[in-house]
Amino acid sequence: MPGELTGFTPVSASAAVSATHRDEIRVLPTKRRRTRVAPRSGPGDWIPRGVDPAVPDVLGVPDVDLIDALHEVVLRRASDLHVSVAAPPCIRRDGDLGPVGAGPAWSSLKADRAIRSILTRAQQVIFDRDHELDFAYTLEDAAVTGVSSRFRVNVHQQRGAVGAVFRLIPHEIKDLKALGIPQSVSAFAGLPRGLVLVAGPTGSGKSTTLAALVDLVNSTRADHIVTVEDPIEFLHAHKKSLVTQREVGHDTASFASALKHVLRQDPDVILIGELRDLETIQVALTAAETGHLVFATLHTQSAAQTIDRIIDVFPPHQQNQVRAQLAQTLQGVVCQTLVKWANGAGRVAATEVLVTAPAIANLIREGKTHQIESMMQTGRERGMHTMDQHLAELVNMGQITRAAALAKAHDIAGLELLIHRTEPVAGAFAFAAVGAGYDSGHDADNNVGFARAVN
């Protein structure tokens, strides 16, 4: 097809799963609602200490109640399923958490058996050792939900019992316009080099926005994109670019380990699922410095805080050097949070966008990050705005309530001054009124959209 990467054929999601997720669970439908699990493992699978590789890693039947609860997440277009002791399974929809049904609370034994029923032997060994486990899970049951569904799963121990959270990963990668992300952000996908950070609290849609950026690169540039994720969430087929997706714990031991070798893999664009430690940040800065475009996420809530967080990871004697590196390589920061629509039917992304300019680079170099916000406030012609400016815009357009905006404000008094005094800027928040976005399963036409936000 025109525009496709020569020599590569775009693969289906299911094919991509089998190629990328050797360790991922696949639940297959039977005539009844009960399910069975296909055996998986191969010579390239990573086997932890304590697991005999000669014994097939085959699972039994997943717990029916757990599978039914996962079906409900899909059918109700929710975002998360919580499994915890002394409570029934709960789902999160449009930001609110409530029980799946009228069933009883799960005992410690019930929760333990249900969660372990979907783990491979290797995963059980890791969980028993670390009391933490992250992985991706595929639920295939066209007879019930009509589609196969993927979840990002965290299994953990709390008060001596086992708990888990399943986050539903969207089937499709929406573009930035459909997500309600400002037009200025799309320019980051066309950069030849540099560091672009997507920040926000957990569950704010960082991974969803990052996937949209990578998909834009994939669709418009003939490049090699390498992603390092834990776990892999969105599956990218080869389009105009070649996409290599590596999963921590399966394809590589750690973010730092993967990034040590990534520069030898001839990448043009690198996606780092999360900047977790000093070593990972160092490699990200080096990669951006040496001519690569690097996308990464952080759990911070403003552009200035994001910059400070990176610098503060390093010891004091290195911080001036890091400021200089960051001033040279940082191209932009997108911070986001999710706010309920005024009609209560879903959530919309509120954003803060920093586009690095020489004046901002100087502030970073001189350690004056506290002055960055004022430059963003006056930088709309460059595509910049603060979180409070966008919140005020959403209130003035009737998209969200004043109370919802104040709950997310960085400066409550400042936001109050902006409400009903903010002049709409063409293109700045052009997509806010579209209403698509981050709430799972809702349509853009219904003014909802981004709750199936991942990460």
Angle between helices 255-262 and 278-289 (to 10 degrees): 20
Residue percentage of the chain with pLDDT more than 70: 78
Task: Please report the pLDDT score of residue 314 as a whole number.
Answer: 97
In the structure encoding, which two tokens stand for residue 192, read together? 């030849």
pLDDT, tens digit, for every residue of 190-241?
A: 999 999 999 999 889 999 999 999 999 999 999 999 999 988 989 999 999 9
Q: Decide if pLDDT at 426 tops 70.
A: no
pLDDT, tens digit, for every residue of 20-72?
A: 343 443 343 333 343 333 333 333 344 455 444 444 454 668 999 999 999 99
Q: Decide if pLDDT at 444 tops 80.
A: no
In the structure encoding, which two tokens stand for residue 403, read together? 């109370």
Interval 426-451 mean pLDDT = 40
Work out whether the CA dihedral 444, 450, 452, 455 comes out positive or negative: positive
Interval 429-441 mean pLDDT = 44
| Nearest alpha-carbon partner for 115 in 56, 156, 72 | 156
Task: Please report the pLDDT score of residue 109 as a whole number.
Answer: 97
Task: Please report the pLDDT score of residue 60 as a whole number.
Answer: 67
Q: CB–CB of 326/311 below 8 Å?
A: yes
Q: Which domains, and CATH codes, for the chain? A: 13-169 (3.30.450.90), 176-446 (3.40.50.300)
DSSP code for 293 = E
**What is the bridge-based pairing of β-strands 35-37 and 25-29?**
antiparallel
Task: Please report the pLDDT score of residue 4 as a whole number.
Answer: 52
Other C-beta atoms lying within 10 Å of the C-beta of residue 136: 23
Could you please report the per-residue DSSP string of 14-77?
A: HHHHHHH-TT-EEEEE-SSS-EEE-----TT----TT--TTS-----PPPHHHHHHHHHHHHTT
Residue percentage of the chain with pLDDT more than 90: 67
Residue identified by tokens 């590589």 is 252
| Nearest alpha-carbon partner for 138 in 88, 86, 75, 70 | 70
Cα separation, 363 vs 405, in Å, equals 29
- Residue type present at position 140: E
By CB atoms closer than 10 A (0-12, 13-18, 19+), residue 436 is buried
Other C-beta atoms lying within 10 Å of the C-beta of residue 203: 20
Q: How confident is the model at residue 3 (pLDDT cuts 50, 70, 90)?
A: low
Q: Going by C-beta distance under 8 Å and a sequence separation of 6 or more, which residues neighbour residue 64?
A: 33, 34, 35
Q: How far is CA 157 from the centre of its chain?
A: 23
Task: Please report the pLDDT score of residue 254 as a whole number.
Answer: 87
Q: How far is CA 335 from the centre of its chain?
A: 13
Interval 398-417 mean pLDDT = 94
Q: CB–CB of 59/75 below 8 Å?
A: no
